[in-house]
Chain A
Amino acid sequence: MANSEDDDREMKARLERLSSALDAKRNEPQARDGGADDASRVNAGRAMSLGFRVLSEFVAGIIVGCLMGWQLDVWFSTSPVFLIAFLALGTAAGFWNVYRIAAAPTSGGGSGRSSGSGQ
């Protein structure tokens, strides 16, 4: 039936249009990098989660340093010595954590450290 052939051709044309539109959509975000409202909202969420990640890693370093120093003081009964020393070391560890996040090749919300997608 000619009708079904027409339908076939139409369907093929529609599929082609769809796939070219999809390709265009896929290439779009890299070109303009979050111009749309939706993308910018997701980017804001990603930036917030990255910020929270930096904060928590920094604070965790200091807290772990403090706890280690405090416990060592309890063991050796040398009250503030180890606490002070490990507070400094913990702060350094916190900065080191933050540096590692910042130095990662791609850091959008914390995507991979050694991924090949860091163009």
Chain B
Amino acid sequence: MAAENAIDPIHQFNIVPFFSDHVGTATFTNASLFMVIVVAAVSFLMIVGTSSQSLVPGRLQSAAEMAYEFVASTVRGSAGHEGMRFFPFVFSLFMFVLFSNLIGLVPYTFTVTSQIIVTFAFAALVIGVVIVYGLMRHGSHFLHLFVPSGVSPILMPFIVLIEVISFISRPISLSVRLFANMLAGHITLKVFGGFVTLMLGAGALTAVASILPLAAIVLLTAFELLVAVLQAYVFAILTCVYLNDAIHPGH
């Protein structure tokens, strides 16, 4: 009973099923609810934002156009013009990650990207697309990605192994980075929030000092906002870099 009143910074990541008493294969949980909310928010921004098409854009249209131009220039910059055929894919990923990061910053919400299975599913999807498209487009030539030119034959097996390990490590680093950033940021915020309530209850002197962690929360929230946007950007740009490998293997 006492544990229920204690401040638990991990509690926010609990998966809660809505229409049944346990989490099964196809249970609608709070994670699913926030995925739906994120998709609805992105769709609202893009559909309503692009519906008016006025020459002098309003706020929503401006936001929608900025999102498009930002992702388009990112894709063109790191995957070339041929990379633009993957623009819908990268754009959907970027907007979903960005909105779930941002919506997760609102108190009492659930951060979808703080679940490693979600980020790993995205990363596996990206690498799957890279492998399938690379093999479809270039056939066995895609495997030259693992065989750099100009290496002496004695070293070759080691280099190939290192390249394979490096390739397999990509989805892991891609997913762990996003997940760890979101998890660490939210736990830090909750821990500082716990400091405030504990210090308020502990006496007059500490109650006055509790303004310090409160100020820290304000600063941390601003910082988390930056991290949320930057991590979505990093996820998108690394997707483009990996797709570039599928389009132009063998550097």
What residues of chain A lie closer than 8 Å to B238, measured between beta carbons? 110
- Residue pairs across A and B with CB atoms within 8 Å: the count is 89
A115 in the interface, Cβ–Cβ < 8 Å? yes
Chain A contacts with B in 67-102, Cβ cutoff 8 A: 68, 86, 89-90, 92-94, 96-97
A45 touches B226 (CB 8 A): yes
Question: How extensive is the interface on chain A, given as a class?
Answer: 20 to 34
Q: Give complex CA distance A97, B169 in Å.
A: 9
Report if B172 contacts A (CB, 8 A).
yes
Q: Once the chains are docked, how many angstroms separate the CA of A50 from the CA of B159?
A: 26
Contact between A60 and B176, CB atoms less than 8 A apart: yes
A-B contact pairs, 28 of them (CB 8 A): A42-B226, A45-B223, A45-B227, A49-B231, A57-B169, A61-B165, A63-B172, A64-B165, A64-B169, A64-B172, A65-B165, A68-B165, A68-B168, A89-B161, A89-B162, A89-B165, A92-B162, A93-B166, A96-B162, A96-B163, A97-B166, A110-B234, A110-B238, A111-B78, A112-B241, A113-B78, A114-B80, A116-B77
Main secondary structure of the interface of A (DSSP, over half): helix
| Nearest CB on B from A53, distance (A) | 6
Q: How many chain-B residues does the 8 Å CB contact rule pick out?
A: 31
Is B240 close to A, CB under 8 A? Answer: yes
Give the distance in Å from the alpha carbon of A42 to the alpha carbon of B168 in the complex: 31
Interface residues of B (CB under 8 A from A): 74, 77-78, 80, 158, 161-163, 165-166, 168-170, 172-173, 176-177, 180-181, 223, 226-227, 230-231, 233-234, 237-238, 240-241, 244
Is A56 touching B162 in the complex (CB atoms < 8 A)?
Answer: no
> Footprint of B on A, CB under 8 Å?
41-42, 45-46, 49, 52-53, 56-57, 59-61, 63-65, 68, 86, 89-90, 92-94, 96-97, 109-117
Chain B hits for A59, CB < 8 A: 173
Chain A residues near B244: list those with CB within 8 A: 113-114
Q: Do B230 and A109 touch (CB < 8 A)? A: yes
Query: Do the beta carbons of A60 and B169 come within 8 Å of each other?
Result: yes
Starting from the known contacts A42-B226, A112-B240, 13 additional A-B residue pairs (CB-CB under 8 Å) come to A46-B230, A49-B230, A49-B234, A56-B180, A57-B169, A61-B166, A68-B165, A89-B161, A96-B163, A110-B237, A110-B241, A112-B241, A114-B244
* Contact in complex: B165, A52 (CB < 8 Å): no
In angstroms, Cα B227 to Cα A109, docked, is 11
Least CB distance from B120 to A in Å reads 12
**Is there an interface contact between A111 and B237, defined as CB atoms closer than 8 Å?**
yes
List, in ascending order, chain A residues with CB within 8 A of B170's CB.
60
User: Are B226 and A56 closer than 8 Å at their CB atoms?
Assistant: no
Using known A-B contacts A42-B226, A45-B227, determine if residue A109 contacts B165 with beta carbons closer than 8 Å. Answer: no
C-alpha spacing A114/B231, complex, angstroms: 21
